[in-house]
């Protein structure tokens, strides 16, 4: 069975001031398989489940990119965003949370909320879980499973079971071992 894997690639572009420069970042869209699309911009890649139920987004990259991410999503579908799921708390996956979290519930492993509550003023997950959670959406089961003591203490792997795609956040070393 062919499984498509979405990797989060950390390509850090830090200017002399220490502030990242997002002015040259554009969002590219790739149809991965089945319902699942990938958006690449800066920081962790975004996965989208797109279909009749609307849109589920996995990770949100950086706040500065939110308007460009919204435009890319609208190119794929006019459906409504329904859920945002975070793979872990790092800023290149969650600093865009506030741009979406006022409209849709943010879902994450419990430790992601705990860490964001320490580090970020807003954009915290409102639905949390310990070991795993299933979202039945766009005709398939989307399974988020916690891998403790991995890249952070809150990492999840997100498996789009019908589309045969996994979004592995920043867990790639562990996942390459698991799939052998
Ligand atoms: Zn990370």
CA of 67 to the centre of ligand 1 (A): 22
Alpha helices in the chain (DSSP H): 66-76, 91-94, 97-101, 110-119, 172-178
Residue by residue, pLDDT tens for the chain (180 residues) are 677 777 665 544 444 445 789 999 999 999 999 999 999 999 999 999 999 999 999 999 999 999 999 999 999 999 999 999 999 999 999 999 999 999 999 999 999 999 999 999 999 999 999 999 999 999 999 999 999 888 999 999 999 999 999 999 998 754 444 454
Token pair of 16, please? 């002399």
pTM as predicted: 0.89
CA of 162 to the centre of ligand 1 (A): 26
CA of 25 to the centre of ligand 1 (A): 19
CA of 60 to the centre of ligand 1 (A): 12
> How far is residue 28's CA from residue 48's CA, in Å, rounded to a whole number?
13
CA of 44 to the centre of ligand 1 (A): 8
CA of 37 to the centre of ligand 1 (A): 20
Which residues keep their CB under 5 angstroms from ion ligand 1? Answer: 90, 170
User: Residue 96's Cα: distance from chain center in Å?
Assistant: 10
CA of 55 to the centre of ligand 1 (A): 23
């Amino acid at each position: 069975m062919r499984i498509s894997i979405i990797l989060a690639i950390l390509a850090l572009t830090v200017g002399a001031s220490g502030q990242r420069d997002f002015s040259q970042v554009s969002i590219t869209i790739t149809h991965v398989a089945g319902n699942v699309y990938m958006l690449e911009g800066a920081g962790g890649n975004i996965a989208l489940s797109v279909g009749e139920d609307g849109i589920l987004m996995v990770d949100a990259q950086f706040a500065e990119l939110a308007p460009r991410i919204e435009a890319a999503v609208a190119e794929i579908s006019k459906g409504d965003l329904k859920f945002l799921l975070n793979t872990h708390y790092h800023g290149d996956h969650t600093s865009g949370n506030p741009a979406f979290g006022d409209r849709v519930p943010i879902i994450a492993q419990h430790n992601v909320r705990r860490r964001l509550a320490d580090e970020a003023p807003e954009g915290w997950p409102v639905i949390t879980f310990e070991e795993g959670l299933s979202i039945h959406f766009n005709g398939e089961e989307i399974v988020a499973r916690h891998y403790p003591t991995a890249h952070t203490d809150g990492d999840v792997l997100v498996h789009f079971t019908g589309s045969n795609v996994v979004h592995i956040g920043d867990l790639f070393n562990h996942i390459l071992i698991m799939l052998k």
